[in-house]
Structure 1
Amino acid sequence: MNTNPLSQKAQQTLEYLQKLVTTLPLFQRLTDDMTAIQEKADHFRQFQDVLILGTGGSSLGGQAITALQESASPKLHFLDNIDAHTFADVLKTVSPHKTGVIAISKSGNTAETLMQLLTCLKVWDETPLAHHFLIVSEPGQNAIREVASKFSLPTLDHPDDIGGRFSAFTVVGMLPAFIAGIDGQSLRQGALDVLANLKEATVHDSPALVGALTQFSLCQQHVNQSVLFTYCDRLQLLASWYCQLWAESVGKKNAIGLAQGTTPIRAAGATDQHSQLQLYLDGPRDKFFTVLTLAQQHSLDSAQADFFDHPALTTLHNKTMGQLMIAEQMATIDTLKANNCPVRELKLEQLTPRSLGSLMMHFILETLAMAHLLEVNPFDQPAVEQGKKLALDYLSRAGGCAKHGAEVLIEE
């Protein structure tokens, strides 16, 4: 019998993950019928633009998935913040008569989403609202359902047993996917492929478990930042989704009150080689690196530079942009290794709905494994509730920052 404490934790964590495969609603619902979602999506595909209101887990999964959209229409606008300037700018670009609006809030009581929705209802007041709007929330009595009832707006149920940051494979992600013309069934199949492999895995050949164990071990050595370096623009929004998934699931106190977790950081290759890499190589050695690469690059004509003399140009002769991207991927990985930075490569041969679904499920499992190793509950986020309550309290007093005594940093 292996008495190594880490080996024992690894085996316990694997058994925990394998049990979740057959018990967790998140996984059980991957085979749910999506006919109702597809029908609503078909309706919204007739619009020129579609606004998708929601924040956090109600938005990031859909954004990550629809980054694969190839069709130009309808144009999806994910409005996940309450910056009035940005919101007004988007409203200026769309015609209410040619635009659908989908509001997503699991609880139905998210202040930001409710404000967005109420703002849009005023702008769309001369249109048949039931034709243009759709509400997605968990069933039961809540604020957004009251709005839906008041204006006779159609609704879809958000599963009440799946948290927002884990909801990408539910209506939250599948509805935008279908509207964007993305194969949602294939996306789910990619997730199911990963779960099928997990059922037969050992502690040595489960990628999600190995990834979590690596980061857990490094965390004990004060490596407490996790950099996701994505070498594909279409995966930048996946990185945003991952940051919420990881941060809200593992960043919290354990049962005895000790703060746990590592900080997720997004980096875009090759762009951030010119902004962040200096810090990563010469700064504090407190970071673990995941370099997400793509083998199959988009085909563009090779560059012609044989009539130049400068080596910076002649090196590019008869090379494609994709070849340069692959070279830079390899160079970053090798440079990190040469500087003794802990790094792994996650390589996609090609980016398809199925491979994206597999990648997202990998990160979900790795997050759950890390939470188990850290002995924290991955499904709650108790620390953020205080800020929500304070914001509503300040709003109810109509004071905001003015009464809070906020310092004016710049005054014209």
Structure 2
Amino acid sequence: MADILDWTNSSLENLDMASFEARAEEMAVRLREETGAGRLPFLTMPYATALKKQLEELKPFLKKFDHMLLLGIGGSALGARALQQAFFPQQDQPGHSGPSLWIADNIDAYALEAYLAKLPPEKTVVVTVSKSGGTIETVGQYFILKKWMQHHLGDEWHKNMLLVTDEKQGFLRGEVETYGITALPVPDNLGGRYSVLSAVGMVPALFLGMDINSLMAGAQEVADQLTTPSLTGETLTEHGSFQLAAWGAALMDKGFDEMIFFAYIPLWASFGDWFAQLWAESLGKEGKGSQPVPALGVTDQHSVNQMFMDGVRNKACLFMTCPNLPTGPKFPADLPDQFSYVRDKDFGELIQAEGLGTRMALSTNGVPLVELRMGADSPRQAGKLIALLGAATILTGWLMGINPLDQPAVELGKRLAKARMNADGLEGEKADLNAFLTADRDLREF
């Protein structure tokens, strides 16, 4: 079944799409230039052939372990978690006895101490993911896990470690060269939030036995149309990513500064968190952007949907569905009369009905909405979704006149945190911290 973008309730008639659509040729030229120069590996995936070979060679190594502890944060973890929950839900179900992926994506002493106390070191592989090799939240945990492995495994500790980092430089690359730790590269020019279909996300996917070839093939099916040297403005206007970009930019011009990602595929809920980083970190710049809001159907019908329906009219919605989800067991026939409408019906019919009802209600209440109707909840479709939304985000940024590939504001908080830990240099940040911490505080007990 085909994957569809349903634009029926997108409010196109109320948006100035023409001014953005008129820039299609400009965008096509920029795509040709950027992909030709190797600056958009998210789309061109020049690393795909080598990565598949590396992953095939990695299989015997990974099969030795029952547990994978992934150390990573942001784009180094969100994609892996989305794939785990979408395609390896059994880990969170009763009686699971297969491989287990644990993701340490925060400075959480409770969780880290639990991993150290309960994971069997000899059957655990620690995967550290940091392109720069300098992300302290990640590398700090690496230091602790390195010491833990050394304590339990002695000189063999490095055989239970795997590093995903820059191919040539950085602290973690130095660890590879010093200790002979198994490693896979993060390609150049591939930012974390765009990296799920590189070794960053594919190593944990391979460990859990996912169909990585289908994931990557689905992405290439969407991206190949954007990376051909013959791309024109006319063909670009027919691509879903550009249509979504023009819609997104036009929405922001009209004051729609929140973008809901409503997932009515329950196992794909974490793609909402992945999208939130992608959209926010790419587009929230120079006083511009729209706030991504992940939501899960039907759970959030009973919580935040009241705000979506009846709050400030500043929200648009990407509404993800799949008409081919499992049907599940049937409702019993001997139900009370007040529930007679579900007698003998498949349990899975209910989420389809709830999704339809919410989609109609949002549209009726003035929320511009595009339905992402996935033909299946398969790895290939997930790859297509990842490529579609990534490309749409890049194009939206270009239409807004900002760089969707950097994250300058995030760096300030990182520098201040390092200054608080008394890192060398950063004298200006240390002075700012001192002024902040010594200022008069308005403190009130509650």
Deviations 1:287-341 (A, max 9, x none): 11111011112242201042423x1x22221122210000011011100111121
Q: Give matches, 1:183-202, under 5 Å.
A: 183-198=211-226, 202=235
- Partner Cα separation in structure 1 for residue 186 and residue 21 of structure 2: 39
Give the CA deviation at 1:66: 2.7
Moved more, 173-182 or 19-28: 19-28
- Partner Cα separation in structure 1 for residue 89 and residue 293 of structure 2: 28
- Partner Cα separation in structure 2 for residue 35 and residue 145 of structure 1: 20
Higher relative contact order (CA 8 A, sep 6+): 2
2:394/2:405 contact within 8 Å kept: no
**Corresponding position of 1:56:** 74
RMSD: 2.5
Deviations 1:39-85 (A, max 9, x none): 22431232111101111111112222233126752101111111111
2:89/2:267 contact within 8 Å kept: no
2:331/2:342 contact within 8 Å kept: yes
203, 207, 212: which one aligns with 2:240: 207
1:30/1:192 contact within 8 Å kept: no
103, 115, 126: which one aligns with 1:78: 103
Amino acid at match of 2:20: L
Q: Give matches, 1:367-382, under 5 Å.
A: 367-382=393-408
Give the CA deviation at 1:170: 1.1
SS state at 2:68 partner = strand
Identical-pair percentage? 30
Q: 1:41 to 1:285 in 2, by over 3 A?
A: farther
SS state at 1:229 partner = strand
**Corresponding position of 1:256:** none
Q: Give matches, 1:160-179, under 5 Å.
A: 160-179=188-207
Give the CA deviation at 1:10: 3.6
Q: Which runs of 5+ in 1 are unaligned?
A: 254-258
- Partner Cα separation in structure 1 for residue 375 and residue 123 of structure 2: 38
**Corresponding position of 2:344:** 318
SS state at 2:46 partner = helix
Indicate whether 1:108 and 2:133 are aligned.
Answer: yes
**Corresponding position of 1:25:** 41
- Partner Cα separation in structure 1 for residue 442 and residue 172 of structure 2: 35
Q: 1:293 to 1:20 in 2, by over 3 A?
A: farther
- Partner Cα separation in structure 1 for residue 109 and residue 442 of structure 2: 21
1:230/1:239 contact within 8 Å kept: yes
Q: 1:315 to 1:409 in 2, by over 3 A?
A: farther
**Corresponding position of 2:302:** 274
Q: 1:321 to 1:46 in 2, by over 3 A?
A: farther
315, 319, 337: which one aligns with 2:363: 337
2:325/2:377 contact within 8 Å kept: no
**Corresponding position of 2:313:** 285
**Corresponding position of 2:387:** 361
16, 30, 37: which one aligns with 1:16: 30
- Partner Cα separation in structure 1 for residue 419 and residue 76 of structure 2: 24
User: How many residues end up aligned between the 2 structures?
Assistant: 400
Amino acid at match of 1:69: F
Q: 1:58 to 1:404 in 2, by over 3 A?
A: same
